[in-house]
Structure formats: C-alpha cells, structure tokens
Amino acid sequence: MCLIVFAWKVVPGAPLVAAANRDEFYDRPAAPAAAWPEHPQVIAGRDLKFGGSWMGITQHGANGPRFAALTNFRGPQDRRTDAPSRGALVADFLTGELSAADYLASIADGAGAYNGFNLVLGDREQLLWFSNRGGGDARNGKPLEPGIYGISNGLLDAPWPKVLRTKAQFASLLCQGAPEDAYFEMLADTTRAPDMRLPDTGIELDLERKLSAVCIETPGYGTRTSTVVKLYADAPGELHERLLQ
C-alpha cells in the first residue's frame, strides 16, 4: 500500500473509514481481497511471493472487527534485498490475537530489520500508527486522536502533494455522504505534482514525478488495486477492492 487516507472516529456509526491505493511491480504475483482459507475471519489481499498482505480486516475478534494497513517508506536506506517481507506485519496482526498495542510492543525491537514502513492497526476502540523510520511516538506506537489522516511513502501526514490533495477530497466526500464510487474515482487521479512541490526521496527527478500521482502509471510499476474499508460500531466491517492491474 502506498497511499492511504482514513477518518478515525469522525463518521457516526463508522469508527474507521479508509481509502487506499496499492502500488507494486506488475509482475509480482498477488491474490485479490478475499477470506483466507486457513483464517476465514481475515479478509485481505495477499502477496503470493511471501504470503503477507498490505491491508485487511477481520470480521470478528475480542474487540470486534480489526484493521491493519502498511505503506512502504521511500528512502535511500530502504532498498535492502535481504530484509524480511513487510507484508508479514499486517498478516501476523490479522491472524493473531494480540491487541494493537501489544502487537506493536512485540515487533518494536525487531522493526529495524525491515526496510522502512508505516503500519496502522487497531479495532473499533483504538487505532495506532507505528513506523520504523520515525522517532519518539512513531517507534512506540502512537495512539491516534479522532481526525482525518494520510500516509504515502513518508511519515504520517507528511505534506506530500498527493497526501494533501487526497485528504482534502476525502474529507469533502465524507461531508457529502458520497457513494462508494466517488472514493474510487478519487483514487483514480493520475495528475502529477508540479516539480516545485515534489518531495526529495533520493530518486531521480523523472521517477519522482511519475510517483507523485495518486494513481501511478508506468510501464512496469504502478497502482494495482484501490480499496475502501469501513469498520462499523455495531456490525461487521466491509472491504471493497477494485483491481487496476
């Protein structure tokens, strides 16, 4: 997952509403979102190379439905080929029984072994953000206050153009009570940011331009799925996915 915007305890009756795009190489095998045969309570897409996931929910649990999502952090130090797969961080939480806080405590000491990542996870009652590239609260698991948030391949709410633009559009759609199709339309935006607003993540300028779009289109890499998730206060959660590539 390389862009996620989400509203936490903003919408009455739906503690969490999230919209996200997964960007990946087209030739990396993956299964679309569905219940996992060996863990039928889990609904998530699946990386068929290493078995992990980028985003998913559970239908039940000690505190009701749960949620987890991951974005990769983009930096010069985050290209190690010997690092473990970050998708396991989502899969292990969704298939386990630990609370979000206990799960983050269990992975904190070993988080440096992974290439950079952001992890957002929780349930109806609490949502936390964790990153192995941030300091302070990020490394301890930061409980999130009610609000609207966005993450791409930087830290939480880093002012990247696509994060700012999508958060604003997302907030507007929530206020309008817009239909689900409107969120998918938002996620399909291929507009690239002007050079003066591009972040500097250590890659060449032309690639930075291409990656600045909400929906990325390049010959070998791009946005492969768009997903909308809702956790309800008194009903099972929903996860709807559209495949692009």
**What number of H helices and E strands is found in the chain?**
6, 12
Helix boundaries (H) for 50-154? 87-95, 100-108, 137-140
Kindly state the average pLDDT of the residues 195-214. 94
State which residues form the domain around 54: 3-158+218-243
Average pLDDT over residues 147-160: 97
Whether residue 63 is predicted with pLDDT greater than 70 in this model: the reply is: no
| 164 in any annotated domain | no
Q: Is 151 inside any structural domain?
A: yes
Number of domains making up the chain:
1
Indicate the Cα dihedral angle 121, 16, 190, 159, nearest 10°.
-70
pLDDT at 79: 83
State residue 78's pLDDT score: 82
Q: How confident is the model at residue 1 (pLDDT cuts 50, 70, 90)?
A: confident
- Residue 60 pLDDT > 80: no
Is 61 among the domain residues? yes
Q: Is residue 132 part of a domain?
A: yes
Asked whether residue 29 is assigned to any structural domain, the reply reads: yes
Task: Classify residue 189: in a domain, yes or no.
Answer: no
CATH of the domain at 119: 3.60.60.10
Tell me how far apart the alpha carbons of residues 213 and 222 are, in angstroms, rounded to a whole number. Answer: 10
CB 19 within 8 A of CB 5: yes
Say if 174 falls within a structural domain.
no
Give pLDDT tens digits for 98-112. Answer: 999 999 999 999 999
DSSP letter for each residue of 67-90: EEEEEE--STT---TTSPPTHHHH
